[in-house]
Amino acid sequence: MYQGHFGLKESPFSIAPDPRYLYLSARHREALAHLMYGVGAGGGFILLTGEVGTGKTTICRCLLEQLPENVRLAYVLNPRVSAIELLQTLCDELRIALPDAKSSLKALTDVIAERLLEHHRRGLNTVLMIDEAQQMTSEAMEQVRLLTNLETNEKKLLQIILVGQPELLARIAEPELRQLAQRITARFHLLPLNVAEVGAYVNHRLQVAGLAQSPFANKAIRALHKFSEGIPRLINTIGERALLGGFARGRQQIDEKMVQNAAREVLGEIHYLRIAAPAKKRWLPIAASVLIASSVAAVGVVIWPETASRDSAAIKPAATQIEPAPLPIVTGEIAEAPPPSNIEVEQILAGTEPDRRGEMAHKNLMALWQLDFDAYRDGPMCPFAEANAMRCENGFADMLQLLQFNVPVALRLHSDQNGLFWVTMAAKRKDKAVLFVDNLEVEAPLDVVTHYWTGEYQLVWQTPPSYNRPLMQGMSGDAVMWLVSALASHRGEQVGAAKSVFDSEVAEQVKDFQRSKGLIPDGIAGTQTVLALWTAQNPHMPRLQQDGES
C-alpha cells in the first residue's frame, strides 16, 4: 500500500524471517560467536537468553546456516513435551529409527548413545539445540542433563545449547536442577538494541527494500528506540505503522509525532503511557515501595530510575539479577562505570564554543574532501555535497560500523559541560581518534570518544559512476557494470568487458567480498560495501584508517 509512496520495492518491516533482512548488531555477533565456539568445543551446556523479540531465534537460524561440515545438529522447536517425547524428537532429528512404538527411556537412550558413538568415530560433533527452553518440564530438563553423561575417555559426545526467555534463568536456579546448572560452561544474555543500533537496523532494512535514503528523521529514530525499548520485533511493527501513517498523510518524511502515534496503536494506551511518562513520575512509585520495605527491615537496595539515557540498553534487565549460578552472564553490554578519564579532552570540550548546529563540523568535514564550505553562504551541507557530485549519509551507528565506512565523519557528542554538540572525526590512529573540535585538532582515546558519542553521525563521500541506491540481484545498468569490474579487480583478476546484470553469480561475489571485510554477507551492495570497494580503487580518498590498520 505505502511502498510506492516511499519508493520501496517491498515492505521493509515484515516479521517473516527473510535472510536478506538479517541484521546482526555487535551484541548479536557476540552471541553468535559464543554459539559457534560452543558447537566446536564439545561437551556441557551453553545458555542463550533474552527477552521476547530480541532476536534469539534469528541467531539460531544464522547458526544453522554457518555450521561446520563436521557438525550434526538436532534442533528442537517445541520442547513442551515429556521426557520420552523429547528423546523421540532427538531420534527424529538425528535420523535414528525408533526401536518400537512404545520405546522406554532406556531403549531410546541406548540408540541415541549408539548414534553419538558412531558420529564420534567419524570425527563428527553432535549438538542438540533447544529453543524456548523455559517451557521444558523439570523431568525433560533432567533427562537432557543425563544425556551429557554419554562420553568417551576424551570428550563428551553431546553438546547442548539451551535458548530461552529470562524465565529460563529462574528455572535453572531451582534446587532440583542444580546439577544441570553446574554443567553450564558458557552463558550469554542478549540485550535489546541501543539507539545507534536501532538506527542502523532501520537503515539496513530500508536499503534491502530498495530505499537509499531513510525517511525516518533522527528524532523519529530516537522515538522508535524509546517506544520499542530496542526490541527488533517491536521496531518492525511500530516502523510499519509509522510508514503507513506517513502514507496516509501524504508525507515523505517520518517525524517523531508519527512514531508516537504508531507506538500508541501498536502498544495500546496503558503500555504507551507507561513508556511516555516523564522519568520522575515513573521513579516515584519505585521510591515509595522502597521506603515501605525499609520500614519493615533494613535492606541494602540500589535504585536505578528509568532515565532517558543515551544508551538505555546498557542497564541490565531485572531478570539477570536472579541468576545464582557461579558463572557470570555475558551480556555484551558496556558496564556501568565512571567515564574514561582524559583531562586534556575534558578541558578542550569545556574551553571551546559548542557547535550546536554542526556548521563548523561540516566545514571541517568538507575541507577534508578539498571543498570550501560555509553554512552561512552555502546553506545545508547535504544539498551542497550533492551539488558537488557527492553523496550525503546521516543516521545512527556504532563505532564498528563507522570504522567500516572508513571515511571522515561528523559525530554528535554529549558532555556535561556543553550538552549536545558536533565534532569531526578525521582519522583513527591505533586506539585513538583524531578530532576537529571547532578550530582545534585533538587526539583522543577511542573509548573516550565512544563514551561521549550519542550514536548520531553525518558523512559525505564520492560515489562510483551511476551509483544512487543499493545494488541487488535482478538490477542492471552502468552501476552494476562498475560493481562487477570492481569485484574482479579486488580478486586480482583481469578486468575485461563486465556484464551489466546483477545475477546470482554476482551476488555470491558480493558475499565473498563482504566476508573478507567483516561485513554482513547479505549479497547486497549497499553503502558500506560500495564504500569499501570504492576506497580500495581510490587510494587518495580521505579515510579514517589506512589499509592494514586496526
**What is residue 409's predicted lDDT score, i.e. its pLDDT?**
94
Domains and CATH numbers, the chain: 1-18+194-276 (1.10.8), 26-190 (3.40.50.300), 342-462 (3.90.70.10), 475-529 (1.10.101.10)
pLDDT over 70 (residue 151): yes
User: What's the grid cell of residue 440?
Assistant: 582545534
CB-side exposure of 2: number of CA atoms within 13 Å?
23
CB-side exposure of 172: number of CA atoms within 13 Å?
32
> Is the model more confident about 427 or about 290?
427
pLDDT over 50 (residue 118): yes
> Tens digits of per-residue pLDDT, 168-181?
888 888 888 888 88
Say if strands 409-415 and 419-429 run parallel, antiparallel, or are unpaired: antiparallel
Indicate if the alpha-carbon torsion angle 279, 282, 284, 286 is positive or negative. negative
How confident is the model over 179-191, as a mean pLDDT?
A: 83
Q: Which of 190-199, 300-309, 330-339 has the highest mean pLDDT?
A: 190-199
CA angle (414, 416, 417) in 5-degree steps: 100
Fill in the DSSP letter of residue 521: -
Q: Which of 109, 103, 177, 107 is nearest to 137 (CA)?
A: 177
Q: What are the two backbone dihedrals, phi and then psi, of residue 132, each rounded to the nearest 5 degrees?
A: 55, 45
User: What's the grid cell of residue 409?
Assistant: 565523519
Residue in the structure block whose three cell numbers are 557461579: 326
**What is residue 130's predicted lDDT score, i.e. its pLDDT?**
92
Query: pTM for this one?
Result: 0.60
DSSP for 34-70, please give it: HHHHHHHH-SSEEEEEE-TTSSHHHHHHHHHHT--TT
> Is the model more confident about 307 or about 432?
432
Query: Average per-residue pLDDT in the chain?
Result: 79
> Tens digits of per-residue pLDDT, 44-62?
788 888 888 888 888 888 8
Say if strands 419-429 and 453-462 run parallel, antiparallel, or are unpaired: unpaired
Instruction: Give dist(CA 92, CA 266) in Å, integer.
Output: 39
Determine which helix (DSSP H) or strand (DSSP E) holds 152, and give its type and residue range. none
Q: Which of 217-221, 295-299, 354-358, 417-421 has the highest mean pLDDT?
A: 217-221
Amino acid at 372: D
Angle, helices 527-537 vs 478-490, to 10°: value is 60
SS percent in the chain: helix, strand, coil, step 5: 45, 15, 35
**What is residue 281's predicted lDDT score, i.e. its pLDDT?**
46
> Tens digits of per-residue pLDDT, 196-245?
888 888 988 888 888 877 899 888 999 999 999 888 899 999 999 999 99
Strand order in the sheet with 432-437: 390-396, 453-462, 409-415, 419-429, 432-437, 440-445
**What is residue 495's predicted lDDT score, i.e. its pLDDT?**
67
Q: Which of 180, 216, 174 is nearest to 198 (CA)?
A: 216
Determine which helix (DSSP H) or strand (DSSP E) holds 455, and give its type and residue range. strand 453-462
> Tens digits of per-residue pLDDT, 479-528?
888 899 889 888 888 766 668 889 988 989 998 898 888 777 878 888 88
Q: Measure CA 303 to chain center.
A: 28
Number of other CB atoms surrounding residue 505 within 10 Å: 12
Determine which helix (DSSP H) or strand (DSSP E) holds 505, and give its type and residue range. helix 504-516
3-state secondary structure of 189: strand
